[in-house]
Amino acid sequence: MTTLSRTRRQVFAALAAGALALAASVPAFAQKAEKTQLTLGVGGKPLLYYLPLTIAERKGFFKEEGLDVSINDFGGGAKSLQALIGGSVDVVTGAYEHTIRMQAKGQDIVSVIELGRYPGIVLVVQKDKAEKYKSVKDLKGAKIGVTAPGSSTNFFVNFLLAKDGLKPEDVSFVGVGGGASAVAQMKRGEIDAMSNLDPVITKLQSDGDVVVLADTRTEEGNQKIFGGTNPAAVLYMKRDFMEQNPVTVQKLVNAFYKSLKWLQTASPEDVAKVVPEEYLLGDRALYIAAVKASKPTYSLTGIIPESGMKNALGMLVEFDPELKAAKIDLPKTFDGRFVAKAAETVK
């Protein structure tokens, strides 16, 4: 590389950094977003894992920030990630783990706000087969439903299998989605076990269809499984999008931060009134129970703690050979400046 080329690159880098710093120093509401029309990808929007997204949409928080956000709901988190890489969506509400895995693949994906501090994922087995599958190590040869292959529900099972000396190839994974179809497949006995989220899990539990093997909806469950918090849903995007659209990203983060603040004081009944009717799975009382069970999972600050990042990496390394050999720069997976600004300005 010539000296002139190096100088140009340094100048461009300095200009980009200066623009980001300037945008961060001026209140977002006083600025116009670089991109007001956005496409957001998500994998299983009705799931309580993504409740902060639905709240931001239904409570009008995106519109308050001057944004017109179109939401594309895919069959699972892996598919929304593919859409981001392929360029058909601008940003994604998805699992934090994807930022780590994509860094190992040479893709610079960064999260900008934590929406869930616990995964909220639950591994259950069909009640009629509970005697056969008493623990994770008994699942060898089982047919296990996940929201979509390659999604966080899949990673969770892979991790649990690895802890008990099994490999992902020792079971069969089936994509079942995160709604009524997942419930139906478990009830019909088409799968032996399932890794999924609320309200699906609470529905199956209340109907007496399943037995729980592992539960990450509570602090106790996370401590037992991961040794602490493990970031779940986040808002993530390509780093160049973040750098080129700092005001837009700030406004997105503001909207999600408003959702987190609203959820801290909202009752499960309040949540049930806001979400679309179809999210209730035909049973409002059950949905309210599911919200109550999942309430502890949501982030209180929007900030991913260093310990949480390490726990997420530790989970992935347990079963992913590619990550064992990779050198992951964890601070690059999360940029907390936007949340810090939201905490100062959002009331």
Range of the domain at 197: 122-215
- Which pLDDT score is estimated for 2? 42
If asked whether residues 241 and 260 sit together in one domain, one would say yes
Half-sphere exposure of 54 (CA within 13 A, CB side): 20
CA gap 157, 214 in Å, rounded:
9
pTM for the full model?
0.85
If asked whether residues 135 and 267 sit together in one domain, one would say no
Q: Is residue 254 part of a domain?
A: yes
| Residue range 78-118, pLDDT digits in tens | 899 999 999 999 999 999 999 999 999 999 999 999 999 99
| Residue range 284-335, pLDDT digits in tens | 999 999 999 999 999 999 999 999 999 999 999 999 888 888 999 999 999 9
- SS3 of 233-294: EEEEEEHHHHHHCHHHHHHHHHHHHHHHHHHHHCCHHHHHHHCCHHHHCCCHHHHHHHHHHH
Q: Is residue 222 part of a domain?
A: no
If asked whether residues 159 and 305 sit together in one domain, one would say no
Number of structural domains found in the chain: 2
CA gap 121, 200 in Å, rounded:
10
Question: pLDDT digit of tens for each residue in the chain (347 aa)?
Answer: 444 344 344 433 443 454 455 444 445 446 899 999 999 999 989 999 999 999 999 999 999 999 999 999 997 888 999 999 999 999 999 999 999 999 999 999 999 999 999 999 999 999 999 999 999 999 999 999 999 898 889 999 999 999 999 999 999 999 998 888 999 999 999 999 999 999 999 999 999 999 999 999 999 999 999 998 899 999 999 999 999 999 999 999 999 999 999 999 999 999 999 999 999 988 999 999 999 999 999 999 999 999 999 999 999 999 988 888 899 999 999 999 999 999 999 97
If asked whether residues 200 and 290 sit together in one domain, one would say no
If asked whether residues 195 and 336 sit together in one domain, one would say no
Residue after which a domain boundary falls, among 186, 215, 244: 215
If asked whether residues 100 and 249 sit together in one domain, one would say yes
**What are the tokens at 28?**
């977002």
Q: Give the torsion sign (CA, 135, 141, 143, 149).
A: positive
Q: Is residue 103 part of a domain?
A: yes
Q: Is residue 289 part of a domain?
A: yes
CA gap 182, 194 in Å, rounded:
9
If asked whether residues 107 and 129 sit together in one domain, one would say no
CA gap 245, 16 in Å, rounded:
10
CA gap 331, 319 in Å, rounded:
22
- Token look-up 């880098």 returns 13
If asked whether residues 283 and 160 sit together in one domain, one would say no
CATH number of the CATH domain containing 304 = 3.40.190.10
Non-local (6+) Cβ contacts of 6 within 8 A are: none
If asked whether residues 158 and 30 sit together in one domain, one would say no
If asked whether residues 136 and 190 sit together in one domain, one would say yes
- Which pLDDT score is estimated for 68? 98
If asked whether residues 49 and 87 sit together in one domain, one would say yes
If asked whether residues 202 and 239 sit together in one domain, one would say no
Q: Is residue 225 part of a domain?
A: no
Q: How many CB atoms neighbour CB 168 within 10 A?
A: 18
